[in-house]
Amino acid sequence: MLEVINLSKIFYIKINGSKEVVGCQDINFKVNKGEFLSILGPSGVGKSTILKCIYRTYIPTSGDIYYESLLFGKLNIAKISDRTMIALREKEIGYVSQFLRVIPRVTAIDLVIEPIMKKNGISYKEARDIAEELLFKLKIPKYLFDAYPSTFSGGEQQKVNIARGVIWKPRVLLLDEPTASLDIESTKIVIDLLMTLKEEGTTIVAIFHDEKLASLVSDKILRISGRSI
Protein backbone atom coordinates (compact mmCIF):
# COMPACT_ATOMS: atom_id res chain seq x y z
CA MET A 1 0.00 0.00 0.00
CA LEU A 2 2.71 2.43 1.03
CA GLU A 3 6.44 1.96 0.58
CA VAL A 4 9.05 4.52 1.53
CA ILE A 5 12.50 4.03 0.04
CA ASN A 6 15.63 5.97 1.06
CA LEU A 7 13.60 9.01 2.00
CA SER A 8 15.62 12.08 3.00
CA LYS A 9 14.64 15.67 3.57
CA ILE A 10 17.26 18.37 4.00
CA PHE A 11 16.23 21.90 4.92
CA TYR A 12 18.33 24.79 3.71
CA ILE A 13 17.88 27.62 6.09
CA LYS A 14 19.34 31.10 6.04
CA ILE A 15 20.47 32.34 9.39
CA ASN A 16 23.86 34.07 9.39
CA GLY A 17 24.65 32.64 5.98
CA SER A 18 23.11 29.34 4.95
CA LYS A 19 22.92 26.13 6.81
CA GLU A 20 21.73 22.59 6.10
CA VAL A 21 19.45 20.91 8.60
CA VAL A 22 18.70 17.23 8.26
CA GLY A 23 14.96 16.66 8.57
CA CYS A 24 15.07 12.92 8.07
CA GLN A 25 17.62 10.66 6.45
CA ASP A 26 17.52 7.30 4.64
CA ILE A 27 14.13 6.22 5.89
CA ASN A 28 12.80 2.90 4.63
CA PHE A 29 9.58 1.09 5.48
CA LYS A 30 6.61 -0.65 3.98
CA VAL A 31 3.01 -0.83 5.20
CA ASN A 32 0.46 -3.23 3.78
CA LYS A 33 -3.23 -2.51 3.44
CA GLY A 34 -4.95 -2.41 6.82
CA GLU A 35 -1.71 -2.49 8.76
CA PHE A 36 -0.83 -0.20 11.64
CA LEU A 37 2.74 1.07 11.66
CA SER A 38 4.07 3.13 14.52
CA ILE A 39 7.10 5.38 14.40
CA LEU A 40 9.10 5.82 17.59
CA GLY A 41 12.24 7.77 18.37
CA PRO A 42 13.63 10.74 20.30
CA SER A 43 12.45 14.22 19.43
CA GLY A 44 14.15 16.01 16.57
CA VAL A 45 14.97 12.77 14.79
CA GLY A 46 12.63 13.47 11.88
CA LYS A 47 9.39 11.65 12.69
CA SER A 48 7.09 14.54 11.83
CA THR A 49 9.14 15.27 8.73
CA ILE A 50 8.46 11.74 7.42
CA LEU A 51 4.69 12.17 7.76
CA LYS A 52 4.86 15.62 6.18
CA CYS A 53 6.75 14.18 3.19
CA ILE A 54 4.09 11.48 2.75
CA TYR A 55 1.36 14.14 2.95
CA ARG A 56 3.53 16.31 0.70
CA THR A 57 3.62 19.27 3.05
CA TYR A 58 7.34 18.88 2.35
CA ILE A 59 8.85 17.80 -0.93
CA PRO A 60 11.50 15.16 -0.25
CA THR A 61 15.10 16.00 -1.12
CA SER A 62 15.60 12.41 -2.28
CA GLY A 63 13.91 9.04 -2.12
CA ASP A 64 10.58 7.60 -3.20
CA ILE A 65 7.16 7.22 -1.61
CA TYR A 66 5.20 4.61 -3.52
CA TYR A 67 1.48 4.54 -2.87
CA GLU A 68 -1.13 2.28 -4.42
CA SER A 69 -3.94 4.72 -5.01
CA LEU A 70 -7.55 3.74 -5.60
CA LEU A 71 -8.09 6.68 -7.95
CA PHE A 72 -4.83 6.68 -9.88
CA GLY A 73 -3.09 3.32 -9.44
CA LYS A 74 0.51 3.13 -8.27
CA LEU A 75 2.11 6.55 -7.72
CA ASN A 76 5.31 8.02 -6.40
CA ILE A 77 4.15 10.77 -4.04
CA ALA A 78 7.61 12.32 -4.22
CA LYS A 79 7.02 13.00 -7.92
CA ILE A 80 3.31 13.62 -8.52
CA SER A 81 1.72 16.97 -9.37
CA ASP A 82 0.15 19.19 -6.73
CA ARG A 83 -3.24 18.57 -8.32
CA THR A 84 -2.94 14.83 -7.90
CA MET A 85 -1.85 15.33 -4.31
CA ILE A 86 -4.83 17.58 -3.60
CA ALA A 87 -7.15 14.87 -4.92
CA LEU A 88 -5.43 12.27 -2.74
CA ARG A 89 -5.83 14.53 0.30
CA GLU A 90 -9.53 14.89 -0.37
CA LYS A 91 -10.29 11.29 -1.25
CA GLU A 92 -7.68 8.92 0.17
CA ILE A 93 -4.99 10.19 2.53
CA GLY A 94 -5.75 11.84 5.86
CA TYR A 95 -3.36 13.56 8.21
CA VAL A 96 -3.81 14.48 11.85
CA SER A 97 -1.22 17.04 12.87
CA GLN A 98 0.18 17.27 16.36
CA PHE A 99 -1.86 20.37 17.07
CA LEU A 100 -5.16 21.54 15.62
CA ARG A 101 -4.86 24.35 13.13
CA VAL A 102 -7.77 26.52 14.16
CA ILE A 103 -9.47 28.48 11.43
CA PRO A 104 -10.96 31.79 12.59
CA ARG A 105 -14.76 31.82 12.75
CA VAL A 106 -15.13 28.12 11.94
CA THR A 107 -16.91 26.15 14.65
CA ALA A 108 -15.74 22.79 15.98
CA ILE A 109 -18.54 20.89 14.28
CA ASP A 110 -17.92 22.59 10.93
CA LEU A 111 -14.22 21.74 11.10
CA VAL A 112 -15.17 18.09 11.60
CA ILE A 113 -17.83 18.16 8.87
CA GLU A 114 -15.63 19.62 6.14
CA PRO A 115 -13.57 16.56 5.14
CA ILE A 116 -16.53 14.16 4.93
CA MET A 117 -18.49 16.58 2.75
CA LYS A 118 -15.48 16.95 0.45
CA LYS A 119 -15.09 13.21 0.13
CA ASN A 120 -18.66 12.01 -0.16
CA GLY A 121 -20.69 14.99 -1.30
CA ILE A 122 -23.34 14.19 1.33
CA SER A 123 -25.69 16.84 2.65
CA TYR A 124 -24.75 19.14 5.52
CA LYS A 125 -27.46 17.57 7.69
CA GLU A 126 -26.19 14.02 7.15
CA ALA A 127 -22.60 15.10 7.72
CA ARG A 128 -23.60 16.94 10.88
CA ASP A 129 -25.29 13.86 12.33
CA ILE A 130 -22.15 11.78 11.77
CA ALA A 131 -19.95 14.52 13.20
CA GLU A 132 -22.13 14.91 16.32
CA GLU A 133 -22.04 11.20 16.99
CA LEU A 134 -18.27 11.23 16.72
CA LEU A 135 -17.88 14.23 19.05
CA PHE A 136 -20.21 12.55 21.57
CA LYS A 137 -18.05 9.45 21.42
CA LEU A 138 -15.01 11.62 22.11
CA LYS A 139 -16.85 13.17 25.07
CA ILE A 140 -16.78 16.71 23.76
CA PRO A 141 -19.59 18.53 25.62
CA LYS A 142 -22.49 19.43 23.32
CA TYR A 143 -22.31 23.16 24.08
CA LEU A 144 -18.87 23.21 22.47
CA PHE A 145 -20.04 21.83 19.12
CA ASP A 146 -20.94 25.26 17.79
CA ALA A 147 -18.15 27.12 19.59
CA TYR A 148 -14.80 28.17 18.19
CA PRO A 149 -11.92 25.80 18.99
CA SER A 150 -9.46 28.66 19.57
CA THR A 151 -10.86 28.85 23.12
CA PHE A 152 -10.71 25.07 23.73
CA SER A 153 -8.27 23.27 26.00
CA GLY A 154 -5.36 21.44 24.36
CA GLY A 155 -7.10 18.10 24.84
CA GLU A 156 -10.40 19.32 23.39
CA GLN A 157 -8.60 20.79 20.38
CA GLN A 158 -6.80 17.53 19.81
CA LYS A 159 -10.08 15.59 19.93
CA VAL A 160 -11.57 17.89 17.28
CA ASN A 161 -8.42 17.34 15.24
CA ILE A 162 -8.76 13.57 15.52
CA ALA A 163 -12.48 13.68 14.73
CA ARG A 164 -11.65 15.64 11.58
CA GLY A 165 -9.08 13.03 10.65
CA VAL A 166 -11.22 9.93 11.17
CA ILE A 167 -14.73 11.06 10.17
CA TRP A 168 -14.23 10.46 6.45
CA LYS A 169 -12.54 7.07 6.90
CA PRO A 170 -9.52 7.75 4.70
CA ARG A 171 -7.73 4.80 3.09
CA VAL A 172 -4.49 5.91 4.70
CA LEU A 173 -4.34 7.86 7.92
CA LEU A 174 -1.20 9.62 9.13
CA LEU A 175 -1.19 10.67 12.79
CA ASP A 176 1.42 12.78 14.57
CA GLU A 177 1.39 11.97 18.30
CA PRO A 178 -2.42 11.81 18.34
CA THR A 179 -2.74 11.09 22.05
CA ALA A 180 0.07 13.30 23.40
CA SER A 181 -2.24 15.85 25.02
CA LEU A 182 -4.96 13.42 26.13
CA ASP A 183 -5.71 11.78 29.47
CA ILE A 184 -5.94 8.01 29.87
CA GLU A 185 -9.68 7.80 29.28
CA SER A 186 -9.57 9.92 26.12
CA THR A 187 -6.54 8.01 24.89
CA LYS A 188 -8.52 4.80 25.19
CA ILE A 189 -11.44 6.25 23.23
CA VAL A 190 -9.11 7.45 20.48
CA ILE A 191 -7.32 4.12 20.27
CA ASP A 192 -10.68 2.34 19.99
CA LEU A 193 -11.66 4.66 17.13
CA LEU A 194 -8.38 3.93 15.35
CA MET A 195 -8.81 0.19 15.85
CA THR A 196 -12.30 0.36 14.35
CA LEU A 197 -10.94 2.21 11.33
CA LYS A 198 -8.20 -0.36 10.97
CA GLU A 199 -10.73 -3.21 11.05
CA GLU A 200 -12.59 -1.45 8.26
CA GLY A 201 -9.41 -1.47 6.20
CA THR A 202 -7.66 1.85 6.87
CA THR A 203 -3.87 1.72 6.73
CA ILE A 204 -2.39 3.71 9.61
CA VAL A 205 1.00 5.31 10.17
CA ALA A 206 1.25 6.96 13.59
CA ILE A 207 3.97 8.63 15.59
CA PHE A 208 3.86 7.78 19.29
CA HIS A 209 5.84 8.93 22.24
CA ASP A 210 4.66 6.12 24.44
CA GLU A 211 6.48 2.90 23.65
CA LYS A 212 3.93 0.77 25.52
CA LEU A 213 0.98 2.25 23.67
CA ALA A 214 2.76 1.77 20.34
CA SER A 215 3.43 -1.89 20.99
CA LEU A 216 -0.17 -2.39 22.05
CA VAL A 217 -1.70 -1.05 18.86
CA SER A 218 0.79 -1.66 16.06
CA ASP A 219 1.51 -4.45 13.65
CA LYS A 220 4.96 -2.98 12.98
CA ILE A 221 7.19 -0.47 14.70
CA LEU A 222 9.78 1.71 12.97
CA ARG A 223 12.42 2.91 15.41
CA ILE A 224 14.49 5.88 14.45
CA SER A 225 17.60 6.34 16.51
CA GLY A 226 19.14 9.65 17.50
CA ARG A 227 21.88 11.14 15.34
CA SER A 228 25.28 12.00 16.58
CA ILE A 229 26.01 15.64 15.91
Binding positions for ligand ADP, rule: CB under 6 A: 11, 13, 21, 23, 43-49
Q: Which is nearer to ligand ADP, 46 or 170 (CB)?
A: 46
Identify the residue among 25, 38, 48, 61 touching Mg ion (CB under 5 A).
48
Candidates 45-53, 58-66, 197-205, 216-224 — which segment interacts with Mg ion by CB under 5 A?
Answer: 45-53
CB of 216 to ligand ADP, least distance (A): 21
- Does 97 interact with Mg ion (rule: CB under 5 A)? no
- Does 158 interact with Mg ion (rule: CB under 5 A)? no
Q: Which is nearer to ligand ADP, 49 or 69 (CB)?
A: 49
CB of 95 to ligand ADP, least distance (A): 14
Q: Which is nearer to Mg ion, 38 or 69 (CB)?
A: 38
CB of 51 to ligand ADP, least distance (A): 8
Q: Which is nearer to ligand ADP, 44 or 201 (CB)?
A: 44
d(CA 30, CA 137): 32
Q: Give 179's contacts (C-beta < 8 A, 6+ positions apart).
A: 158, 186, 187, 190, 191, 208, 210, 213
Q: Which is nearer to ligand ADP, 45 or 65 (CB)?
A: 45
CB of 227 to Mg ion, least distance (A): 15
CB of 13 to ligand ADP, least distance (A): 5
Beta partners for residue 221, in sequence order: 38
d(CA 5, CA 126): 41
Longest dimension (CA), the chain: 54
- Residues 203 and 35 sit within 8 Å (Cβ to Cβ): yes
46 binds, among ligand ADP, Mg ion, none (CB under 5 to 8 A by kind): ligand ADP
How many Cα atoms sit within 13 Å of 201 on the Cβ side?
Answer: 7
Size of the site for Mg ion (CB under 5 A): 2
Distance of CA 107 to the CA centre of its chain: 21
CB of 128 to ligand ADP, least distance (A): 34
Q: Site residues (CB under 5 A) for Mg ion? A: 47-48
